[in-house]
Amino acid sequence: MNWSPDIFKSYDVRGVYPSQLNDGAAEAIGLAVASLSGDKKIVIGRDMRLSSPALHQALLKGLIAGGAVVSDIGLVPIDAVYFTTNKFSYDWGIMITASHNPVEYNGFKIIGRGGKWLRGAELKDLVLQNFKPAPTPGHVANLDIWPEYIEHLLSFVDIKKLKPLKVVVDAGNGMAGAVIPKLFAKLPFKLSPLYFELDGRAPHRPFNPLMPGAAAAASRQLRQTGADVGVMFDGDADRVFFLDEKGKFVSADVTLLLLAREFLNREPGAAIAYNLICSKAVPEFITKWGGRPLRSAVGYVNVAKQLAENNGVMGGELSAHYSFRDNFNTDSGFIALLVVLELLSRLNNPLSQLVKEYSPYFKLPEINLSVANKQEMINRVKKNYGDAAIDELDGITITYPDWWVNVRPSNTEPLLRVTIEANTEKLLQQKQTEVLNVIKDYGIPKHEIRNPK
């Protein structure tokens, strides 16, 4: 085995190519997934990363050796794999992507029909069984999924209600560049495009829109063109980030409220899922609008699970994944985009005003602390705030009437992740200092605090 077992993460497979994740690993993963497949029907897609063609061929080699009947849908965004898997009843769908990770990374996300996910740890156990090739090899055929996929996306909006909004779309040389032209060709919006060429080198900005400086070009184009709204996608286009007409980022939990408002307008009383590090404004507004909030642990798989188990209409999280019941409980950046644009078409208020309305509390970006003994630190935070309302759905959440904090362990790194929100800016600053001092007093050097602001 000349690849790293560390490529198997909580939800998927990711690693640096070829030092951690290589063609041998891809072939072994293909053989394992084929051996797990009942009907041997598997669909695969890939993104624009430079290593994706080589991993694609190696994955195919393993799948065919395992006897799989493979439909290859080529260069697609990840939600096209989700759509094809569920709509046409494939056993498994495999997307070759590392999503928003830097260019040297690649990986695999694997979904089964009916909302199943093949998580990294489960896949690792399968791969290490060293499956033998099937007696009869499988085969592969190309499949053009684009017409059905675009029609599916458009089914989430009433085109007659859409206005000719001016929209800046920054595809970041990722898979959104292949989708937006096909989608907007059927819509009344005025498109102002940025970086639509598929390019695995990410020559203009990182695949992660949240990296420092990544939004500069989109923000500048918004202001220069007088556009109504801006949008940025990550590499595989499952995450979408909005900028208001002033070029300022919209927090993902505010975007979740925009989506929730639209879906509750369509389906009064519906359930909306959110993860526990979203602002407490999220369940408050959902309840105010007559909806039913569903609280989940962090992670897009957990949001999808809440939707499936409670018949929720949609859900989202702070990382800008948005999942939809009628999209087989999976996420799609394009559906989120279309639904928000329909809402903006109907309302007279600019996006910046809506953002202000839906942001009544004060919250800072997640703080990451380097620490080896993660659980011990969580236990000591719990002890320090023993008089609070406490829950342990994901790490520990400490709640008081005027502020709350969540401290949770990273699944993949020796990090504690800290999220704090308060009713006032002054209290937020005070509690941030207080919580960090509680942790630092137990041996966390100051220089190991990341993103303290």
pLDDT in tens, the chain (453 residues): 789 999 999 889 999 999 999 999 999 999 999 998 788 999 999 999 999 999 999 999 999 999 999 999 999 999 999 999 999 999 999 999 999 999 999 999 999 988 889 999 899 999 999 889 999 999 999 999 999 999 999 999 999 999 999 999 999 999 999 999 999 999 999 999 999 999 999 999 999 999 999 999 999 999 999 999 999 999 999 999 999 999 999 999 999 999 999 999 999 999 999 999 999 999 999 999 999 999 999 988 899 999 999 999 999 999 999 999 999 999 999 999 999 999 999 998 899 999 999 999 999 889 999 887 888 889 989 999 999 999 999 999 999 999 999 999 987 677 899 999 999 999 999 999 999 989 876 444 443 333 333
pLDDT at 287: 98
pTM of the predicted model as reported, rounded to 2 decimal places: 0.94
Q: Which helix (H) or strand (E) holds 331?
A: strand 330-331
- The pLDDT of residue 451 is 38
Residue type, 261: R
As its CATH architecture, domain 362-450 has 2-Layer Sandwich (3.30)
CATH 3.40.120.10 correct for 252-357: yes
Residue 99 falls in the annotated catalytic set: yes
Q: Please report which residue ranges of 71-229 form alpha helices under DSSP H.
A: 78-87, 120-127, 146-154, 176-184, 216-225
Residue 140's contacts (CB-CB under 8 Å, 6 or more residues apart) are 60, 63, 64, 70, 71, 72
Domain boundary assignment for the chain: 5-144, 149-234, 252-357, 362-450
The stretches of 70-145 forming alpha helices (DSSP H) are: 78-87, 120-127
| Active-site residue, selected from the candidate residues 52, 99, 192, 279 | 99
In sequence order, what are the residues at sequence separation of 6 or more whose Cβ sits closer than 8 angstroms to the Cβ of residue 392? none
Reading the block at residue 19, the tokens are 């030092």
Q: Which single residue is written with the structure tokens 């919580």?
A: 435
43-67 pLDDT, tens digit each: 999 999 999 999 999 999 999 999 9
**DSSP per-residue codes, 1-34:** --S-GGGB-SSSEEEETTTTS-HHHHHHHHHHHH
Q: Compute the distance between CA of residue 410 and CA of residue 167 in angstroms, rounded to an integer.
A: 35
Residue 212 token pair: 């420092």
Q: Which tokens in the block code for residue 374? A: 């993660």
Q: Enter the tokens of residue 80.
A: 């096209």
pLDDT at 410: 83
pLDDT digits (tens, 9 = 90+) for 330-383: 999 999 999 999 999 999 889 999 999 999 999 988 999 988 788 888 998 999
- CATH of region 5-144: 3.40.120.10
Topology agreement, domain 5-144 and domain 252-357: yes
Q: What would the two tokens of residue 413 be?
A: 């790194």
Domain 149-234, CATH 3.20.20.70 — does that match? no
